[in-house]
Structure 1
Amino acid sequence: MQLTHSHTAEFNRQSRKKSLARLGGQRFCTETLPSQLRLEWLKEVIGKEYANVDITPPNTMPLYNDMLIYPWQQDMRLSPIQSNAITLERLDQEPTEIAQDCYFAVLLTSGQYKLEQGGREVFLNGGEMSFYDATQSHRITIPEQFSKILISIPRPLLDKRLNNVGRLTATKLASASGIGAVVASMIQSTVQQLDQMTDVHFQQLSNPILDLFTLLLSENEVELSTLSRHRHFALLQIKQFIHLHIKESSLDAAAVSAGVGLSIRYINNLFYEEQTSLMRYITTQRLALTQSYLSNIIYRNLTITEVAMQCGFNNMAHFSRIFRHRYGVSPRAYRQQQLNLVR
């Protein structure tokens, strides 16, 4: 569902003022401030209303951001936003405002949008939707003027409806057809008709939209479960390839990628789910192999350098450093300790 910029101009200035007053909304806009004050003001507002973030303003245009926030039932909020290019990165700290303990559904109505969270990244064009956790690290990169609609959903509202909601963040929610198209259309229509609605009617729309959005997430969760099985088998394939080639010093990310036919980015995303990375996993496996060599009397005639090289290491200083960091002693001292135990 491609939306034109004319369709995403939510309402004119006069009707916007009326809808804000009638529906209890607020407006936060940088245009009321001198340019030198806008950045810190915007960080403060976003930190209070959405999430604590670092902001990188655009180099090619002035910093401009216009946010409307309408309160909904059950502490949900609807926020049409228009802005110039901007980059937002979630700071590594606990939420300081209750408004931050939320999930955010995002419908991009014009422009382009990149969201990164949980080792995943999603690219949106106008009319497409995604979803993220405001309390977790994330990065939003928007390279040009854009408009979007955010729906703030308090954590308990979704957590009691769906399990493992965090698995769905930074994924594209299908909005071109099916239930996704219904959800996107209803959100967009609600914003376009704000100047025509009473507060009672507006409030009554929050629960149906939440129900539809939950249904959309459920549909994506089923698809993700199927995808997870594929990812599980892909990870097994990658680990098997690594174990077969672990003794080769040339085994690196590019070699693994070529060997299994998957991109380095995708492979690293798989390992991210296990709280590691591809190269960290390879190093861990090589260290485990050297540990077994050094503790086995069969290999006592090999020098430390020969053991390291047979296990895929080709930089002795690096090997000695990471071995000591992992096992607390040098490779030579470790070997002596282990061989003394078997005498």
Structure 2
Amino acid sequence: MHIAYSTRSVGKAQAFEYWTDLICDVYVGLDCDCSERSRFEADIVRFDTSQFRLSEISGSAHRAVRSSKRLARSPNDDVLANLQIDGRTSIVQSGRRVELCRGDLAFYDASLEYEIVAESNFRTLVFQLPRRTFSERYSEIGSAVGHKLDGAFGLARPILRFLSEVPNASEEAGVNRAILEQYSVDFLRTAMSLVAPGQKRSTSAQTEACLLRAKQIVEEHLSDPEFNREQLAVLLGISVRGLSRLFSDEKVSPSDYIRLRRLEHCRRALLDPKSTARTITEIAFCYGFNDSAHFSSVFRGAYGQSPRDYRFALERCR
């Protein structure tokens, strides 16, 4: 689901003032300027997500500034990431300037002053996330400011390609949006580890990328009851001991991670009105459990209720 806003909904004389008010409502307090206000056009499409704000912005050349006065009037502690889809923009913050071309990504900090300049017609995806999304792993988010992740860089290409498809994927029928959002957060964390020079972090960029790949493999194999940590290690090309080290910062073992992902998918299926015709056993077997009694036991251990009671309680609330 998305919400669209456009300067075309008002007269040309009011378009730029409308845009300035709109951008402040959607993001953070900003002052905007444009050399050709009478010809200015812009659009925002906001996508419905739970873990972060995602918007696609397109429009004419203009300048947006988060000044000290704006910081005082509308404080905000979020971290933002701009992924350039078309055109060129520049971001200036903390004395550093980064130029974004098509396919590039850069982070900036809403708690500090910054300036964004779109030099011509442009289209940008903006991810706005709570600071804790990154501060749990990275000690100095500011070191990522003023550095871009080049879309031509080998390891960056699959990350940025995935992020660029998030708006379209979020609108597709049958897509598990919770998983899509979690992958997006994981990719953005990995992007920060790649873009921040000298960043103090618990794992290297290569480890972040490997962990992300491990999680993708798990999602792809949940329906296989035989899938386990040994098979995951083989598919990653590392030892079981190396796999355990890979998951050390996740505070969960690889085997427990696989089990928890199976349970979470089952829990969501029990919540889904489209799955009311499916039996609990069918749902359990769909996600790799092959024993109903065992599934009921581990589900109760994770969520405090049997699958049957969990589903019944939800049905009574509807």
The answer as to 2:177 corresponding to 1:196 is no
Which of 23, 33, 36 is 1:56 aligned to? 33
The structure with the largest helix share of the pair is 1
Indicate conservation of the 8 Å contact 1:101/1:155, yes or no: yes
Equivalent residue runs for 1:116-265 within 5 Å: 116-198=92-174, 201-222=176-197
SS class of match (1:147): strand
Structure 1 residue 65: Cα displacement: 1.1
Unaligned 5+ segments in structure 1 are 1-22, 226-343
Deviation string 1:59-82 (CA, Å, 9 cap, x unpaired) is: 2871111001113223x0111111
**Higher RCO (C-alpha 8 Å, min separation 6):** 1
Indicate conservation of the 8 Å contact 1:105/1:151, yes or no: yes
For 1:52 and 1:60, locate their aligned partners in 2 and report how far apart those are by CA, in whole Å.
20
Deviation string 1:214-255 (CA, Å, 9 cap, x unpaired) is: 122123335568xxxxxxxxxxxxxxxxxxxxxxxxxxxxxx
Indicate conservation of the 8 Å contact 1:84/1:145, yes or no: yes
For 2:45 and 2:9, locate their aligned partners in 1 and report how far apart those are by CA, in whole Å.
14
Indicate conservation of the 8 Å contact 2:149/2:194, yes or no: no
Structure ID, larger Rg: 1
Indicate conservation of the 8 Å contact 1:55/1:87, yes or no: yes
Which of 40, 56, 59 is 1:80 aligned to? 56
Deviation string 1:280-313 (CA, Å, 9 cap, x unpaired) is: xxxxxxxxxxxxxxxxxxxxxxxxxxxxxxxxxx
Change (3 A) 1:182 1:95: farther
For 1:201 and 1:95, locate their aligned partners in 2 and report how far apart those are by CA, in whole Å.
39
Indicate conservation of the 8 Å contact 1:61/1:84, yes or no: no
Indicate conservation of the 8 Å contact 2:43/2:58, yes or no: yes
Indicate conservation of the 8 Å contact 1:57/1:87, yes or no: yes
User: What is the aligned partner in structure 2 of residue 295 from structure 1?
Assistant: none
User: What is the aligned partner in structure 2 of residue 229 from structure 1?
Assistant: none
Structure 1 residue 153: Cα displacement: 0.7
Deviation string 1:173-228 (CA, Å, 9 cap, x unpaired) is: 13323432122100112223444245x62332111111121122123335568xxx
Indicate conservation of the 8 Å contact 1:80/1:147, yes or no: yes
122-131 or 37-46, which deviates more: 37-46
The amino acid of 2:26's aligned partner reads E
Which of 42, 55, 62 is 2:19 aligned to? 42
User: What is the aligned partner in structure 2 of residue 326 from structure 1?
Assistant: none
SS class of match (1:36): coil
Change (3 A) 1:222 1:194: same
Task: Using the aligned pairs only, state the percent identity.
Answer: 21
TM-score in terms of structure 1 length: 0.54
The answer as to 2:73 corresponding to 1:107 is no
- 4+ runs deviating over 6 angstroms: none
The amino acid of 1:191's aligned partner reads P
Structure 1 residue 149: Cα displacement: 0.5
For 2:147 and 2:15, locate their aligned partners in 1 and report how far apart those are by CA, in whole Å.
31
Indicate conservation of the 8 Å contact 1:71/1:77, yes or no: yes
For 1:204 and 1:168, locate their aligned partners in 2 and report how far apart those are by CA, in whole Å.
26
The amino acid of 1:202's aligned partner reads R
For 2:50 and 2:185, locate their aligned partners in 1 and report how far apart those are by CA, in whole Å.
10
**Superposition CA RMSD, Å:** 2.2
Equivalent residue runs for 1:303-314 within 5 Å: none
Equivalent pairs, count: 199
For 1:35 and 1:44, locate their aligned partners in 2 and report how far apart those are by CA, in whole Å.
15
User: What is the aligned partner in structure 1 of residue 6 from structure 2?
Assistant: 29
Indicate conservation of the 8 Å contact 2:16/2:37, yes or no: no
Indicate conservation of the 8 Å contact 1:91/1:137, yes or no: yes
Equivalent residue runs for 1:287-298 within 5 Å: none
TM-score in terms of structure 2 length: 0.58
For 2:92 and 2:103, locate their aligned partners in 1 and report how far apart those are by CA, in whole Å.
19
Indicate conservation of the 8 Å contact 2:13/2:38, yes or no: no
For 1:37 and 1:137, locate their aligned partners in 2 and report how far apart those are by CA, in whole Å.
27
The amino acid of 2:21's aligned partner reads E
SS class of match (1:166): helix
Indicate conservation of the 8 Å contact 1:179/1:216, yes or no: no
Indicate conservation of the 8 Å contact 1:158/1:214, yes or no: yes
Unaligned 5+ segments in structure 2 are 201-318
Change (3 A) 1:194 1:215: closer
For 1:211 and 1:127, locate their aligned partners in 2 and report how far apart those are by CA, in whole Å.
18
SS class of match (1:140): strand
